[in-house]
Structure 1
Amino acid sequence: MLRRPAMQVLRQFVRHESESTSSLILERSLNRIQLLVRVGQDPVIRQAEGKNPVTIFSLATNEMWRSGESESIQTSGATGDISQKTTWHRISVFRPGLRDVAYQYVKKGIRIYVEGKIDYGEYMDKNNVRRQATTIIADNIIFLSDHGKEE
């Protein structure tokens, strides 16, 4: 696989205005997220009137740390308590082929890799209160296990 040097890739996304020009230069931006996770909820398909259907499911990521003298989890003989934080992510799949595959094969407990972008939005709940929502819009899903949690 041929890889471009990092600086060459960055030049595609970041453009600097030169001293001699005062014209507006549009910059490319990057909104990417990668999650290696376990599925927390079976997918559902939703469709708003007049809009394309979307497959929605949740994923959990875990962060672990050790408090005390050594903060590394892997250190043998380390003292301190191990703490864990679980963060839940809402995944939406709009792409027609991927949406159908996700609905059919994503199941609670399996491990998957998801690539996508973060989307922030607002909606009105049942009580007419404005709420904020953060969603991962999936562009790619790779299945890492074909069954629930290994025993």
Structure 2
Amino acid sequence: MLRNVSAQILRQAVRFRSTDSSLILERSINRVQLLGRVGQDPVMRQVEGRNPVTIFSLATNEMWRSGEGETSTTGDISQKTTWHRVSVFKPGLRDVAYQYVKKGSRVLVEGKLDYGEYLDKNQVRRQATTIIADNIVFLSDNVRDRT
């Protein structure tokens, strides 16, 4: 599988030339895969004149052991949680995400990174990073349903 992905990337990295020799078009890749737990039930928002969007947060964890050496079984275990904002614009996926993604669910989100700016309620310019999802894989039932 890794060989297929590598071959695909190499094929996409090939430069394509147009009839204008000064213009070189290159393919590029903006892909993200996140595996984590949903932090809040999704909300659906719609700005006037635009398509609706389903939004939820996703937590990913990074764990490491600090101690004598990398293979040591002694030492403290540390963990860092990173929160990601996920937006779903695709019509079918947007509705499924709104209906079935629940707080605590374990999901795999595939998509692309998007960077933007907005004005907060105090009219201060803020930057935001969003994952634009084009696929969601449900890996477990809701944590609350298991208790």
TM normalised by structure 1 equals: 0.85
Which position in structure 2 is the counterpart of 1:62?
61
1:24 aligns with 2:19: no
Which position in structure 1 is the counterpart of 2:84?
89
Q: Which has the higher helix share?
A: 2
Aligned counterpart for 1:140 among listed residues 135, 140, 147: 135
Which position in structure 2 is the counterpart of 1:104?
99
Q: Aligned partners of 1:71 and 1:4: how far apart in 2?
A: 32
Q: Which has the higher strand share?
A: 2
1:119 aligns with 2:114: yes
Q: Aligned partners of 1:44 and 1:105: how far apart in 2?
A: 12
Consecutive unaligned residues in structure 1, runs of 5 or more: none
Moved over 4 A (4+): none
Instruction: Give the match's secondary structure for 1:104.
Output: helix
Q: How many residues align?
A: 142
Structure 1 residues 109-143: Cα deviation after superposition (integer angstroms, max 9, x where no partner): 11111100000000001111000000000000010
Structure 1 residues 57-76: Cα deviation after superposition (integer angstroms, max 9, x where no partner): 0000000011111335xx5x
Structure 1 residues 48-88: Cα deviation after superposition (integer angstroms, max 9, x where no partner): 1111110000000000011111335xx5xx22111100000
TM normalised by structure 2 equals: 0.87
**Are the aligned partners of 1:65 and 1:71 in contact in 2 as well (CA < 8 Å)?**
no
**Are the aligned partners of 2:42 and 2:54 in contact in 1 as well (CA < 8 Å)?**
yes
Consecutive unaligned residues in structure 2, runs of 5 or more: none
CA RMSD of aligned residues (A): 2.2
Counterpart of 1:70 in structure 2: which amino acid? G
